[in-house]
């Protein structure tokens, strides 16, 4: 039976593809206050601004390609059972060939009905006011905003509990509830933490690889 590698990825995974990390040091996201564009209240106050914000993110996503790290993760499926749990809303893992990806924070290339949260559909064009579901409700980005429940978190917890190896790439693991996932892996699971500026050091079964995602994956492949 193949070893099960669980991979937790964040914004640093896609940075080398040219996608901006979630927000910069002053809390702005692409020049916007996060509370304006990533909360239900912001959407209620100014839906046009929010829809246009995600239209721009969608266009940006369609202009970039997976990087070497995405392809290296997909390639691991040859020898291992790999599950990727990502905080990213892009589809770069899937485009690189990874077959088992859980998106904790939603997906940029999907939209859902404001009247029925399980009515989700693929969407690659601009989304505007007046785009509605079959029941007439306005469509919104299929993104988990601040203050909203993370619907996939329980499945992610269950998957972490089955990990033989844990790999963390491009995330500081400080955004909850995603940050809590590390506590669900079996005790003493070998964990690799790939980050160019790690705030922690290797210790016991916890091994730090102080590199970018692309360089870190090259090293990881020699260690697995």
Which residues are known to be catalytic? 105
Please give the Cα distance from 91 to 149 (Å, whole number).
21
Task: Give the 3-state secondary structure of residue 86.
Answer: strand
Dihedrals phi, psi of 59, to nearest 5 degrees? -60, -45
Structure tokens at 14: 């896609």
Whether the bond into 177 is cis, omega within 30 of 0: yes
Residues 81 and 4: beta-carbon distance below 8 Å:
yes
Residues 178 and 22: beta-carbon distance below 8 Å:
no
Please give the Cα distance from 49 to 77 (Å, whole number).
40
* Termini Cα distance of the chain: 15
Helix boundaries (H) for the chain: 11-15, 34-37, 40-45, 47-62, 68-75, 92-96, 153-160, 213-223
Q: Is the dihedral of CA 116, 137, 61, 87 positive or negative?
A: negative
């Amino acid at each position: 039976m193949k070893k099960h590698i669980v991979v937790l990825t964040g914004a640093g995974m896609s940075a080398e593809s040219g996608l901006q990390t979630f927000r910069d040091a002053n809390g702005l996201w692409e020049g916007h206050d996060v509370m304006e564009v990533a909360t239900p209240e912001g959407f209620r106050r100014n839906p046009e601004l929010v829809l246009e914000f995600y239209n721009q993110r969608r266009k940006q996503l369609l202009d970039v390609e997976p990087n070497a790290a995405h392809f290296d993760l997909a390639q691991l499926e040859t020898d291992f059972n790999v599950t990727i749990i990502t905080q990213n809303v892009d589809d770069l893992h899937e485009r690189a060939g990874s077959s088992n990806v859980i998106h904790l924070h939603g997906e940029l290339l999907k939209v859902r009905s404001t009247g029925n949260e399980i009515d989700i559909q693929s969407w690659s064009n601009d989304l505007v006011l007046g785009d509605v579901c079959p029941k007439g409700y306005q469509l919104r980005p299929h993104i988990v905003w601040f203050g909203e429940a993370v619907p996939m978190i329980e499945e992610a917890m269950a998957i972490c509990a089955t990990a033989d190896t844990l790999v963390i790439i491009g995330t500081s693991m400080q955004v909850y509830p995603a940050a809590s996932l590390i506590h669900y892996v079996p005790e003493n699971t070998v964990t690799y933490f790939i980050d160019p500026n790690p705030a922690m050091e290797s210790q016991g079964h916890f091994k730090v690889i102080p590199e970018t995602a692309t360089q870190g994956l090259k090293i990881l492949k020699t260690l697995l």
